[in-house]
Structure 1
Amino acid sequence: MNNRIEAADEKITAIIRRLNDELRQTFVGGAIRVTPSVIALGSKAQKAIVGKVRGFGAFDERNDPFGEHDFGAFDLDGEKVFFKIDYYNREMTAGSENPADQTVTTRVLTIMLAEDY
């Protein structure tokens, strides 16, 4: 691949990563979904999970192979928790054609237990 294409791809990935980090850290810039199994853990656990999602920084090749910061996993009191960011078109009827463009993308952050995945 030539250097110009690689640089463009890296720039797009950096934009997607920034938008994903903003949603994950602030819960602004998209929709937030929590599965019933997380809700069933109660408010104390939910608060701890939200704190861990917002502060998550353990991205590596295993959970973030494309460098977009769109998935993470951690343990909380014996429960394996996942979060995942998906990219949809504005109508939420299909995937986004350009996740780096906020004008055509709705981000959805889902927080779930591993058993929900």
Structure 2
Amino acid sequence: MDRKQIIAVDFDGTLCFSTWPDTGEPNQPLIDYLKIHKKAGDKLILWTCRSGVILDKALSWCREVAKLEFDAVNDNVPEVIAYYGNNSRKIFCDIYIDDKACVPDEFCGKCRIIQ
């Protein structure tokens, strides 16, 4: 497997400043970042809780507004599935971009130990 990076990105509040189930304004700096990586050969996954018609709406927005195409949607990229011989429910990626994510070191620094 060629080791380009795999980048997973959320839609609502991350790629698109929106309130589910609508779409909204593009996060242009993030879109530009993803386009640079896609052009360099990295793989992009759209990782969202959307499904059905509202997922289709988000994918149309990505194509028409952001001009982004994804290598996978809510799934692992085919190269990962082939390499490991299965498709786990948890996606494999090098970078996960989500407005709801936390950085473990920062998060743990705020935790107190209960004794």
Determine if the TM-score, normalized by the shorter chain, exceeds 0.5.
Answer: no
- Shorter-chain TM range is under 0.3
Question: Higher relative contact order at CA 8 Å, sep ≥6: structure 1 or structure 2?
Answer: 2
User: Whose strand proportion is higher, 1 or 2?
Assistant: 1
